Structure formats: structure tokens, C-alpha cells
Structure 1
Amino acid sequence: MRKNLPVTQNVYTFPPDQTLISITDLKGRITYCNASFVAVSGFTCEELLGQPHNILRHPDMPQEAFRDMWDTIQNSLPWTGLIKNRRKNGDHYWVRANATPVRDGDTIVGFLSVRTHAPAADIEAAEQLYARMREEAQAGKRQTVLHRGHIVRRTLPGRLMALSKPGLGGQQAMLAAFAAGLPLAAMSAGAPMWGNLLAGVVGALAASIGLHVMTIRPLRQVVRTANLLASGDLTRFINVTDSGEIGQVQLALAQLTVSVRTVVRDVRHEVANLLGGTQEIAGGNQDLAARTDTQAHNLQRSAAAMDQIYGTIQQTSRLSEEGAQQAHAAFQVAERGNSAVQHVADTMQEIATSSERIHDIIAVIESVAFQTNILALNAAVESARAGEHGRGFAVVASEVRALAQRTAGAAKEVRELIQESGTRVSAGEHRVEEARQRMAEVMDSVQKMAVVLDQINTAAQDQTRGVGHINDGFGELESITQQNMAMVDELASAAHSLNHQVGAVHNTIRVFRLTERDTTLAEVDAVALRKEQRKNAINEDGHINFSHELARHRQLRVMLRNAINRKLQVDEKIGRDDCCTLGAWLAGPGHQQHGHTHAHAELHAIHAAYHQELGHVAVNINKKRFNEATALLESGQPLHATGQKLTKAVENMAAIA
């Protein structure tokens, strides 16, 4: 017998209106369990599917209870009894288990177990019974056993008690014996004929009354219960008051009532959960529509800016062409100015040369003058000595005359040179004026070019502003596109949640077979199911299905919305980042393998922040502040932004893990 440890002996109480349902194959491996079953067990769905059902067995349960249950259901009969189950953390919870075989025609293909809330009085009686059964088993004297869910004591009082509750056939035999026994007793006592007749009438009347009390009345109760069930009334709990065939009918009706009630409750639960998903999708669609409208407006602005930029570019091109023409004209004017200035320079050079020649001539004149002065002095001296007889004066005078002639020639040449220089200076002034005019033209062209360049600059500034508007518009478009992508992820998550809930409804309905071709959940391959579920958990190599974990974290928002809609309490452990598979991976294998990376540190921080925001919503829900909780789930709130960051962080982590 499997012994699951540890145990805490702490009682876990679940709401009385919850029904826990599971289906196993012929080997007792779980092939289906509803959400209530998963929540109460403390395990995850992945940890349960494909596993033996005795994973929930509590060590305090006597082996006799499970022996009787398996013997009963393997004989195609329903079984009911109180069971103490162990949760994953060692706590326990009591249920009234209703187990029945699942058939495909006449063949048993699996077993259905429906568990409901157990009353405190029944739990107390069961604890005493199971304690006595464990003591008897340890002592090797089993005097208390179970038979088809009923207590059987192997003592004389117990056997007499069993005889006092005969089945339908036994009851009929007892009544027949009683009816026939009275006349025979009267005859043996020597009673007269009328006495025998009276005894026969009394016996028949007593047999009729007994038949009514032991058979007719219970059958009427069964018919009344069946009529209530046929009318859709699933509120009545059927008490099994008989241990015979009628009791078996009552037990079957009780099992049917519980099964149908469970199916209806699960379907209602999942359909109610669809509301949260549809609200999530509706809210996402509204956000997406608003962002799309903003995006369209920005596109219109961008298109108008592009038209403006196109016009500005055309104007800039035209102005640039005019600027190029003006620049070419300025170049030609500057070239002519340069040529004129060069002519001026040449003229000035010629003037300089003429000036040098004039200097030489003047030097000659000065020399002649000097010599003339000397000769004049000599002539004076000679004239003074000779007196009237100075003959040499004539020679001197001749020389002076010659010098004078030379001076006159030099003066003539000077005059000619001066005239020539004046002419050239005049020409130089003309050239300088021409150069001045050319330079004025250059300045005018340069000024026009400056105006054109100013216009080009203004156009360039307009173009820059237009480009800036486009950049801003496209920046908003990029941001909105990213938000839309995140919203698409959110909508995909909501759709995934709806698909999951529809799958849950579908599995709930599959409890029943409508045609011979239908397969029930009991016929699912448990081994393949277990392998499939392991893909969604941390495997032996320390890897994890990031897509599955991201979808599960997104579904937590839908779960909170459903809790708000249905005014349900929420487990505030949702605010802890160490109570999910992703959190366990980040703290365990993920830390060992990637703890040194930025992606791991980022995901660890964002994952903790996401659960913290979920916890804030859960606290408001549990305090019945539903409006505040709803507001925290809306877009633009920290939970929504952190969810988008979580998506990116998980994708980054998946890229390296």
C-alpha cells in the first residue's frame, strides 16, 4: 500500500458547493480531473494527469476501505463512502466519494469518482470507524469490514443486524412465510374454520402492510426522487436507507444526481469563466481600435508633412539651380575683374619704369648743370685774370653753350617722358575705374548669391522641421505598433484561455457517452498523457516550456477578472513569485544555468514585479473592493505594462535557454 508523506494533520476546508471529479483508467491512473479537484489537491494539473490516483491517499485511511471500493466498482456496482485525502503539502481534507464504473457497452473502460463536501458528523463517525479498523488490522483481528460501502461487523450482534436488513428477495420470502405461517399456526392449535380463515386474512393483511412498508414505500420514494431528477431538480441529496436492491437503486440515483450536478456546475463555472476572457478581448479590442485610430491620424499627418517636404524640396532644387547660375556669373565677373586689375598692375609697372628713366635723365641734367657751373666759374676766373684780353672766355662760353644744348635736349626728353607717363597714368586711371566697376558687379553678384543662400537656408529649415514631424509621427507609429503587438499577445492569451475553458467544458461533457462511437476520458492513454504533461513542467535537464508558462501567467489576469465577476475569494499566494513553475525554475535550474546572464536577472525582477501587481489585485478582490480591482486590470496600469515587459523578458530568456 502506497504511503504518502509527510502529513501535517492540518485540515483543509473547501467550499461546500464545490464538487471534485476525476476519471481514471482501469489501472487507476488519472486521465481527467476538474479545476476544483486540482485546486483542492494542491497539485498542478500537470502533476496529476497520468499519475496513479493513490497519489492522494492519506496514511490514516485503512486499506480495507480501498479494497472494498475496488471490489465493488470492478463488479460494475457504484460505491460511496467517506475518504480522507492528503494534499501535496501534507494537509488533509475529507470528502464523500462516489465511485462508479465507466462502461463502453457491457465492458468497463474506467472509473468515475465524484467527491462532495462531507458533513462534520459523518467525518467524526468515519474517523472513529477507521481508527477501529486500523487497530483491528494491527492486532490481526479484523472484525469490522466493509461490503459495498456498508459496515459489516463479524460479531454475533453484527451478523444479527445484517439479517435484520434483508434484500428485496429476502423481504418477499419473509412476508410469504409470515402470511402462510399464521393459518398453519391456527390449524395446528385446533382453531375452528373461521379462525383459520381469520388467521389467513390477518396474515395476508400483515403481508400487504409489510410489502407496503418494506417495498412499496421505498419504491415510491425512489420514483419521487427519479421524477425530481427528471424535472431537472438537482438540489436534493438522496439518502441511501436500504442495503438491498432498493438501496442499490437509491445509490445509483444518488450517484447520477451527483454526477449530473457536477457536470452542470462545471459547465456553469467554465461558461462563467468565458465572461472574463470575453471582457479581456473586448477591452483589448477597444484599446486596439483607439490605437489604430491614433495611428491613422498620425499617418495623415505624416502624409501631409511629406507633401510639404516634397514642395520644399522642389523649391530648394530651383533655388539651388539659380544659386549655381549666379555663382557662375559671379565667377565670370570676378575673372574679368581679375584681368582688369592685372592690366592696372602692368600699367603701374610701366609707370615705374618710366620713372626710373626720368631719374636717370634728371641725374644727367644735374651733372651737366654741375659741370656748367664749374665751367662758368673757370670762365669767370680766366676772365678775371686776362682782363680784356681773356681769350679763353670764348672757349668756356662755347662749352657752356654746348652744355646748354645738352641740357635743352635732356629737358626735351624729360618733357616727352613726362607726357608719355601722363598718358599712361591716364590709361591706368581708366583701367582702375574699369576694375572698380567690375568689382562692383562682383559685389552685386555676391549679394544676390547671399539672398539666394538665405532662401535656401530658410527652405532647409522648413525641410528640417518637416522631417522632424515625420520622425515624431513615425516614432509614435513605432510605439503604437509595439503596443498593438503586445495587445495582440494579450488577445492571444485571452483566446488561449477561452480555448482552455472550452476544452474543460468539452472534457466535462465527455463524462457522458451519447453514441456508441464516443470515447470517454477513461479510455485516454494515461502514459501518453503523462508524457504530454511533462512537456509543460521542468524536465530532468532543467528546461522549461516558456510559451506554456507565459500563457499560464497571462491567464492569471483572466482568472482575476472571473473572480471579480463572480465575487469569489482569491488565494493571495498569487502575489508570490515562488509559487509557480516559472518561479521555481528561476530560483533552481534557471539560476544554476543562466544566473550570470542579464536575461535571467531581468526576467527574475520582472516576474517578481508581475506577481506583486497580481497580488495587489487579489487583495482588493478579497476585501470586496471590486471597482478598484477592475481598475488595476485595465490597460495603462502597472500590471498591464509589467505584463508586456514579462512577455519580452520571457522571449529574451527563451532565446538563450
Structure 2
Amino acid sequence: MFSLTKQLMLGLRFPAKMSLTLAPMVLLAAWLAAQASTVVGAPLAWGSFGLGLTLSAYLGISFHRSVLGGVKALRRHMINISMGELRNDIQAQGKDEFTRLLRELNNMQIGLRETVVLVQSSSSEVVQSSSEIAGGAQDLSSRVESAAAALEELAAALDQSSSVTAHTAESVAKASELALNNAVVAQRGGQVMEDVVSTMEHIQVSSSKINDIIGVIDGIAFQTNILALNAAVEAARAGEQGRGFAVVAGEVRSLAQRSATAAREIKGLISTSVGEINHGVEVVRGAGNEMQEIVTNADHVRQLMEEVARAAREQSQGIAQIGMAIQGLDQSTQANASLVEETAAAASSQQAAAIRMAAMVDEFRLPGETRSSSKVEGLDMDAFIDAHRQWKVKLREAIENHESVDTETLKRDDCCALGQWIYGDGKRRFGGSPSFVDLLSQHRDFHQVAGGVAVMINARRFSDAEDALAPGTPFSNATRNVVHVLSTVKRVGF
């Protein structure tokens, strides 16, 4: 009986995927038929075996289709989730294990969707705030650099001004010393003028005395002349005896007249000299007054020069202190400039990280999502992102349906809408931008890698092609890179 059952099992051929499901049922039917043949006879037993085999085959095929359908549905939903498709809920009806598994998968998708929505909102806020911080930091860095340059120029100007002020203070000190010397000389000159005035006054007094003496001499000459005249009269009366006396009297009279004449001349000269001396005295007194005023002014100038010298020294010291303060401020400004540059770099790094996070979120599709406006006027970056993400779906469908792919068109990066814009209006508007060059490179790499997967599909290497679409592969990385560049351009422009 067991040999017969073995022969039946060897004679039946089932599909590989169904053998594990139907084999136990066939063995059970054969065993039941063997047991029945010992009880009711071989014909009825084999009839029961045929009926049992048919029923087992039906149940096995139904079970296989049910299991295969559940597995396919589970696989399809998991593929959608892996591609970021979170818009549609998973519909699961029934009470079997696959239905429960699909419901749990739907719960996981809902939780993932809520997390992605939260991350998307947070990433948008972080991108906006980091962009504002980065812009403000760049502006602040520019302002601090301008302030630092202005402080350097001010420090240089103050240093030059300090040198000029120090030189001025030195010159003023020398001028003050000269003014002091001039004041001393003026004082000595004033003293000399006072001595001259005193001498002239003494001469004036002496001249007055000489004038008095001349008056006395003139009086004596007048008296002598009278006496001589009287002597002549008396000599005339004496006659011949008084002739000698008359001669003497005449000579005395002549001498008295000459003395009077000389005295008058001397008196005239003395008077003239006294007048000139008086005038000289007045002139010398005036000169003395002027010299005294010069002395006073010289002393005043000396005082002023001392004040100017003191003010120049104080100004030089003040400018030196200001220079030291400016140098300290310049050092602080330089330190602030370095700190601001570090802050700007950190803000730029934060902005780049936020954009990368936003780009990761852009790989998911959510129900009712609103697309943000692009920084590049006239471009729908979200449409470009969807178009290139959709290639994973297209290639997977080609693998499942064993369809061919146009590899020549897929490998070219100038056939899709983004490629046409890149080699047209985009190159004309942003050809020199680093972001545009990066987009051009990443977009070219994406189409080359996607074309390589299409070559595998056309070569009927479906397993290799499916592995090439897995996470971490060149295709997955190329897709992520081009999505990241597009997301960055969408948020900050070129």
C-alpha cells in the first residue's frame, strides 16, 4: 500500500510553488484510500481516493492563491512605502493572518506618515530660520569686516595724528623756550632803557645847572662890563694919569663883552642841547614805555606758549590713549569678525543640513500636501522631483511585467523636461552657477545609472535589475542626489 502511494506521488507533477502546499494533502488522501481499501474494498477505496485527491487539489490551489495574493498585496504595499508613497491607506478585509499583517502595515504607514508630516513641517521652519540666520550672519560678517577696516584706517590715522601732535608739542616746547629767552632779553632791554632814561634825566638836570652857571657868567660879564665902563669914565676924568688904567679898563670891557657874547652863545647852545635832551628824554621815555609793553607782551606770549605746550602734551597723551583704546577695539572687532565668520559658517552648515533633511522628506508623498513655491521663477521643481522618483516605479513595473525599456532615451540627460530646461533656458540663465553645475552633473549621473538598470531589464536579468533598485545602490544614491539638488534649488535658488 505504501509503495502504491509512493508511485502516485512520483507520478503526480505540481508546480514548484504549489508542491509544498499540495503534497501533504495528496499523502493524506493516499493514506485514507489505503485504509478504506482494507475495509470497503479496492474500487470504493480508489473512488474515495480520487474524490479526496480532487478535493485536496481544490483546497490546495485555493489556499495557494489566497496566500500568494496576500503576499503580493503585502509586497506591493511595502514597495510603495519604500518608494515614499504614503498618500493611500492600505485596505485590508478579512480575518486571516495576512489581513492582520496588512492592517499592522497600514498602522505603520500611518505612524510613518505622521512622523514625516511633523519632520516636513519642522524642516521647512528650520530651512527658513537657518536661511534667515545665514543671511543675517553673512550681512553681519560684512558689516563687522567693514567696521574692522574702518577701525584699522582710524588707528592708522590716529597713529599719524599722534606723531604729528608729538612733533607739534616738541615744536611748541621749543617755541616756548624761545619765548622765555625773548622775554628775558626784553626784560634786560627794558632795564637798559630805564637806565638810559635815568641817564638822560641826569643829563637834563646837569644841563639845567650849566644853564644856571651860564646865567651867572653872563651876569658877571655884565657887571664886569659896567665896572669897565665906570673905570673908563674915571680914567677919562683922571686925564693923562689915568690913560694906562683906561687901556686896562678897555681891555677888561672888551673881555667882558667877549665873555658875555660867549656866554650868550654857550647859553644858546645849552638851551638847544637842553631842548634836544628834553626831546630825547621824552623819546627815551616813550621807548621805555614801548619796551615795557614789549616785555609785558613777551611774558604774556611766554605764558601762552607754555599753555599751548602743556595742551599739546595733554593732547598727545590723549591721542595716545585713544590710539590704545582704538587698538583694543580693533582687536575686539577682529575677534568678533572671526566669531561672526564661524557663526556664518555654522549657520551655512545648519542651512545645508536642514536642506538635506528637507530633501529627504521630499522623497515622501503625503495626502493633501501643498507644494512650496520655487525660488526659480517659472520652474516646478516638485514636478521634476516626482518625474525622476517615478523612474523607480517604472523600472519595477517593467521588471514585474517583463517589459522592455527604451535605454537609449533613458541614458540621455537632455530628453526629459528637466534636461531640456537644463540645456536650454537654464544654461543661458544660470550656466555659471555652482548649483547649476552640480545639478547638471547629478542629473547626468542619474540617467546613466537608470539606463544601466534598463539594460539589465532588457537582458532579462530581472533579479539583478531588482537588486539594483534596492536602497544603498548606485541607482538609489543617484536618485537621492538629484532630488537633493532639486530640493536645494527649490528652497534657495541657484
Instruction: Indicate the TM-score class for this superposition, using the shorter chain for normalisation.
Output: 0.3 to 0.5
- Return the index of the structure with the highest Cα Rg: 2
* TM-score when normalising by structure 2: 0.40
Structure with more of its chain in strand, by fraction: 1
Name the one with the larger helix percent. 2
